[in-house]
Amino acid sequence: MAKLTGSLPPLFLASQSPRRRDLLEQLGLHFSVYVPQVEELVAPRKRGARSPEAIVKQIAEQKARHAAGELRGKGEKQGIVLAADTLVFLGRHVLGKPHSREAARDTLRRLSGREHTVATAAHLLHWDGARERAARVAVKTKVRFTRLSPRFLEWYLDSPEPWDKAGSYAAQGIAASFLASLKGSYSNVVGLPLPETLAALEKL
């Protein structure tokens, strides 16, 4: 594939996340958003031997393969699909997207004053006819929250921000005020580790 200084095949972001779209736009790349017609894949919540990186890598690959298969079925002869998945872990417990105010409150109480891990994987799948090549990215960031007072927590839950977010918060929004420390990639916490994703794209 041509390097980024040259021409790219059609690039498809297989995500409906506006945060990933905004991050990818920062790279100055031309791309289309294509959301595969599959239900959202959910990580197992039980403890197990698999690491956070292994879990998100598996989900990101499944998303990419679903999207590439559908695009091929629509007549796309070549292209690159970029799919990603982000999960928040407290220890080995997955803190997913909240299904209710109570679930979001419970998650944020657990994160209050503690360090947790944000893991994001990106899977890039390039096809040209019958040929395929893939590149994978998996990044972890350690985040520590300040202590959240009950009053502030309820105020935050009144905002639209916790919904549809892994861990019930958005680091680029109001929840930036929660961050006591961050070790690693900030863009990874938002939803896509930019340096690593760009390096993977160049390898295809």
Q: Confidence class of residue 46 from pLDDT cuts 50, 70 and 90?
A: very low
88 backbone φψ class: left, alpha, beta (φ>0; ψ -120 to 50): beta
Q: Confidence class of residue 8 from pLDDT cuts 50, 70 and 90?
A: confident
Mean pLDDT within 100-115: 98
Is residue 3 in a domain?
Answer: no
Q: Say what the pLDDT of residue 27 is.
A: 87
Distance (Å, rounded) from C-alpha 63 to C-alpha 45?
19
Q: Which residues share a beta bridge with 81?
A: 12, 125
Q: Say what the pLDDT of residue 53 is.
A: 84
**Closest C-alpha among 100, 102, 98, 115 to residue 168:** 98
Which has more pLDDT, 152 or 2? Answer: 152
Q: What positions carry a catalytic annotation?
A: 85
Whether the CB-CB separation of 196 and 122 falls below 8 Å is answered with yes
Structure-block tokens of residue 11: 């690039």
Is residue 2 in a domain?
Answer: no
Read off the pLDDT of residues 165-185 as tens digits, 9 standing for 90 and up: 999 999 999 999 999 999 999
Read off the pLDDT of residues 57-92 as tens digits, 9 standing for 90 and up: 999 999 999 999 999 999 999 999 999 999 999 998
Torsion sign, CA atoms 91, 41, 10, 133 = positive
Is residue 23 in a domain?
Answer: yes
Mean pLDDT within 136-149: 97
- Count up the domains in the chain and report the number: 1
Kindly report the CATH number assigned to the domain that includes residue 189.
3.90.950.10
Q: Say what the pLDDT of residue 42 is.
A: 54
Is residue 4 in a domain?
Answer: no
Question: Among 29-38, 126-135, 173-182, which stretch is predicted with the lowest mean pLDDT?
Answer: 29-38
What is the reported pTM? 0.87
Is residue 5 in a domain?
Answer: no
Distance (Å, rounded) from C-alpha 79 to C-alpha 13?
11
Is residue 90 in a domain?
Answer: yes
Is residue 164 in a domain?
Answer: yes
Q: Say what the pLDDT of residue 5 is.
A: 44
Is residue 170 in a domain?
Answer: yes
Q: Say what the pLDDT of residue 4 is.
A: 55
Answer yes or no: is pLDDT of 44 > 60: no
Percentage above 70 pLDDT, the chain? 91
Q: Say what the pLDDT of residue 40 is.
A: 59
Domain range spanning residue 37? 11-203
Mean pLDDT within 126-150: 96
